[in-house]
Structure 1
Amino acid sequence: MHYNNYRNLGFTTISNGLIAYYPQLKISDAEMILIIQLEMFAQKGNNFPSNEELAANTNFSTTEIASLIQKLIEQKYLAIDESTDNKGRIYNCYNLDQIYDKLDEVLRVNITAANSNHAKPTTEIDNSPLNKLLRQFEIEFGRYLSPIEREEISAWLRVDHYDPEIIRLALREAVLAQAYSLKYVDRILLNWQRHNLKTSNEVQNFLQRNR
């Protein structure tokens, strides 16, 4: 079966932040598999798949699926909402919004703690350009950055004086190329520097001309 045949089955978009940090949310591997299945069904337009449908896509029984759903509800990661269609009929749908609210809290705490080398007010750390960049890199890469990687990103700001927005644009280009490494991002930044591109507008115009 060729790759194009698999492409016809479609793709499911899952936040890299959730993939990287679900253990910090105390979500088990089994619960994470269920969350991925719920996202897949939702992105296909089915917001309330049956336990049988979920079980058919996993190695879990319908009883285990029911248990996992109940655990996620008890942990306030999953809710069942009621909605009304255009004919006035009431229907149920799963809602995962709460899990992303909790993920945002975990990300703020973890990124702040990982990069706090000196005692600073929390608001100052959270709002610094460096910490915003570090958080975005960890989310896009789907993993923690090493101390060396964090220092390299810091050097882009302190030593190379790259604009944070230009670094974010370089990260976006790397993600689009599915190259999740700082070396690739650094090559992009050096290339833009050789072209004397100093603002985000100049970079965006350059990218449009060379697509």
Structure 2
Amino acid sequence: MTYSTYRKLGFTTLQNGLIAYYSRIGLSDAEFVVIIELEAFSQRGEEFPSNEQLAANTNLTAGEVGQLIQQMIDKDLIAIEQINDQQGRIGNRYSLDGLYQKLDEFLKSQLPKASQAEPTEQILDNNPLTQLTREFEMEFGRYLSPIEREEIQSWLTVDHYDVKIIELALREAVLAQAYSLKYVDRILLNWQRHNLKTTTEVKQFLRRNR
């Protein structure tokens, strides 16, 4: 399939701020996938796709999509609004106003003023999860799944691994031709058991054990 063929499928526009900070405003990876699908349908003129339609291009079932939508409604991130079409018929549409309002509030209140003035590309580059995801995808030669992104996020927020330590573990996995987050996780756990907390300590440990 050529690029021109892909172009005929169309494009979906998303705010870079949403891509960088969706997890910080309360969206899980699975919920973010549904938001992408809602935006894709909306930008094609279909504002109330069925759960089956939303699930068709994902690894989710229609039932899981329904649960995720309800979760986002409960969090006031999306809403179902009643509308009238040109023939006066009553219908429904998904509104993402709550989501983008929350994103705006986050960007205004949580980010340093200096960061707000930076180009969005630089903000994206400074987001550890986005940075690591891009590096893993480049090394693995494929896109990461939502579950894999959650694993990386867990390394950062639960295990509190330093970004540079994770990058070193990724390099070791690539050298071993093991393109798996499970393999990287085993490396990180091994270093943790040896109480290696800095990149200098890790590099010294690797030199001793080559």
TM bracket, shorter-chain basis? 0.5 to 0.7
The residue that corresponds to 1:133 in the other structure is 117
The residue that corresponds to 1:58 in the other structure is 58
Say if 1:17 and 1:140, in contact at 8 Å, map to a contact too.
no
Say if 2:78 and 2:95, in contact at 8 Å, map to a contact too.
yes
What CA distance in whole angstroms lies between the structure 2 residues aligned with 1:100 and 1:107? 10
What CA distance in whole angstroms lies between the structure 2 residues aligned with 1:73 and 1:106? 19
Q: Which amino acid aligns with 2:14?
A: I
Residues 176-199 of structure 1 show CA distances to partners (whole Å, capped at 9, x for unaligned) of: xxxxxxxxxxxxxxxxxxxxxxxx
The residue that corresponds to 1:143 in the other structure is 124
Say what the alpha-carbon RMSD is for the aligned residues. Answer: 1.7
Structure with the greater relative contact order (CA < 8 A, sep ≥ 6): 1 or 2?
1
The residue that corresponds to 1:9 in the other structure is 9
Helix, strand or coil for the counterpart of 2:23? coil
Return closer, same or farther for 1:101/1:144 CA change in 2, 3 Å cut-off.
Answer: farther
The residue that corresponds to 1:31 in the other structure is 31
What CA distance in whole angstroms lies between the structure 1 residues aligned with 2:122 and 2:9? 25
Q: Which amino acid aligns with 2:16?
A: N
Give the TM-score normalised by the residue count of structure 2: 0.57
The residue that corresponds to 2:19 in the other structure is 19
Q: Which amino acid aligns with 1:94?
A: Y
Say if 2:107 and 2:116, in contact at 8 Å, map to a contact too.
no
Say if 1:20 and 1:143, in contact at 8 Å, map to a contact too.
yes
What CA distance in whole angstroms lies between the structure 2 residues aligned with 1:37 and 1:2? 23
Q: CA deviation at 1:140?
A: 4.0
What CA distance in whole angstroms lies between the structure 1 residues aligned with 2:78 and 2:2? 36
What CA distance in whole angstroms lies between the structure 2 residues aligned with 1:132 and 1:56? 37
Q: CA deviation at 1:96?
A: 0.3
Say if 2:78 and 2:96, in contact at 8 Å, map to a contact too.
yes
Gaps of 5+ in 2: 128-210
Give the TM-score normalised by the residue count of structure 1: 0.57
Aligned-residue identity in percent? 47
What CA distance in whole angstroms lies between the structure 2 residues aligned with 1:24 and 1:31? 13
Gaps of 5+ in 1: 113-125, 147-211
Return structure 1 stretches of 4+ with deviation > 3 angstroms: none
Return closer, same or farther for 1:142/1:54 CA change in 2, 3 Å cut-off.
Answer: farther
Helix, strand or coil for the counterpart of 2:100? helix
